[in-house]
């Protein structure tokens, strides 16, 4: 379409072209370029908005991946904190059982300093500096807390092993199965000897069952005696528990009396011999003694702790019904 404008000349009855002034031509040119620029800019904006460049596509994909990884790290951080809290609860319970002092809050919290976990050079290159530094501080603190917890568990394990050794070497069970036990004498101290017919000290318990019934070690230790002896005990076994405790098992049967020999290492509950009536005895039974630092002590506190309620009740009934010892 032509941009030339015309006007009607009444004198000549014709249309004559109107020539624009210089200023009008300049203004028209500027308006033309302005409109073209607006259209061009709008077109560029539309292209950039709806048609991203390959580089922008790569950036968006990388940002999406970073967001996913960040969300995953946040979830993992929560899971680790939950697991650590449970470990700390278990740690405190174990310390209470083992009678050890609790770890203080300051030790467990494992405070970490500022951003020194990252170098200044690395921090200067970070895009999201505050977020990354804060996350690194959280991770460093968790690592320190886990390290402290690992050391605590290691300490508890070593201590528990020592306690387990001590416990396993303290007499703590009956030397005779409660199912086989017929009678029990818990008389400890002066009593009337049924064989010698006079009052004498009795430094152990008498477990009455059938000849040949099994006898068991009441704690871990080493057999230091397994033979016939003089003085009234007959065939007897002595076990040294290597912690100041010894246990004596006397009056074993005459033939095939021993399931162990001197020098053997035995475990609590292990078969060591068979019940009989050798020595100064009024009938088949086991005379059982607990010695602490070379002196006999009352065995009552050294086997009831591992009896179930049924066995413990039976032991009390037998002790009440049968007070007279057999030797």
Burial class (CB in 10 A: 0-12, 13-18, 19+), 199: exposed
> What dihedral angle (degrees, nearest 10) is formed by the CA atoms of 159, 165, 170, 172?
90
Residue 245 CB coordination number (10 Å): 20
Specify the pLDDT at position 1: 46
- Asked if 99 contacts 161 with a C-beta cutoff of 8 angstroms, the reply is no
Query: pLDDT tens per residue, the chain (327 residues)?
Result: 456 676 666 666 776 667 777 777 778 788 887 877 887 787 777 766 776 677 777 777 777 776 777 777 778 788 888 888 888 888 888 888 777 788 888 887 765 544 445 455 555 555 555 666 677 777 778 888 888 888 888 888 887 777 777 788 889 888 988 777 767 776 655 555 555 555 566 778 888 889 999 999 999 999 999 999 887 899 999 999 998 999 999 999 998 999 999 999 999 989 999 999 998 888 898 999 999 999 988 888 787 555 566 666 666 665 555 555 555
Burial code (b: 16+ CB inside 10 Å, e: under 16) for 213-223 equals bebbbbbbbeb
Angle 54-97/129-168 helices, nearest 10 degrees? 30
217: left (phi over 0), alpha (psi -120 to 50) or beta: beta
Specify the pLDDT at position 115: 45
Q: What single-letter DSSP state applies at residue 198?
A: E
**Distance from C-alpha of 250 to C-alpha of 264, rounded to nearest angstrom:** 18
HSE at residue 80, side-chain half, CA atoms within 13 A, is 17
Specify the pLDDT at position 226: 95
Specify the pLDDT at position 324: 55
The reported pTM is 0.53
Q: Are strands 183-185 and 189-193 parallel, antiparallel or unpaired?
A: unpaired
Specify the pLDDT at position 121: 53
Specify the pLDDT at position 308: 60
């Amino acid at each position: 379409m032509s941009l030339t404008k015309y006007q009607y000349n009444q004198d000549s009855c014709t249309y004559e072209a109107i020539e624009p002034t210089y200023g009008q031509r300049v203004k028209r040119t500027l308006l033309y370029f302005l409109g073209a620029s607006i259209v061009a800019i709008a077109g560029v904006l539309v292209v950039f908005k709806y048609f991203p460049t390959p580089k922008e596509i790569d950036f968006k994909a990388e940002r999406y991946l970073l967001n996913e990884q960040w969300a995953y790290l946040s979830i993992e951080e929560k899971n680790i904190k939950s697991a650590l809290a449970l470990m700390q609860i278990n740690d405190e319970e174990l310390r209470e059982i083992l009678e050890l002092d609790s770890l203080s809050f300051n030790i467990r919290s494992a405070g970490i300093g500022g951003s020194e976990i990252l170098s200044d050079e690395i921090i200067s290159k970070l895009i999201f500096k505050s977020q990354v530094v804060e996350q690194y501080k959280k991770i460093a603190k968790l690592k320190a807390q886990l390290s402290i917890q690992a050391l605590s568990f290691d300490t508890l394990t070593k201590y528990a092993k020592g306690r387990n050794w001590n416990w396993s070497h303290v007499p703590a069970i009956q030397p005779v199965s409660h199912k086989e036990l017929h009678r029990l004498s818990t008389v400890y101290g002066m009593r009337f000897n049924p064989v010698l017919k006079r009052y004498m000290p009795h430094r152990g318990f008498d477990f009455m069952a059938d000849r040949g019934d099994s006898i068991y070690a009441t704690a871990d230790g080493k057999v230091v005696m397994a033979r016939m002896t003089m003085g009234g005990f007959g065939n007897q076994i002595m076990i040294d528990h290597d912690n100041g405790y010894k246990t004596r098992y006397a009056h074993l049967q005459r033939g095939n009396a021993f399931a162990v020999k001197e020098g053997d290492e035995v475990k609590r509950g292990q078969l060591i011999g068979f019940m009989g009536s050798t020595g100064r005895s009024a009938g088949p039974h086991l005379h059982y003694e607990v010695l602490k630092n070379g002196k006999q002590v009352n065995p009552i506190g050294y086997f009831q702790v591992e009896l179930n309620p049924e066995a413990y009740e039976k032991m009390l009934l037998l002790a009440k019904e049968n007070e007279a010892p057999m030797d």
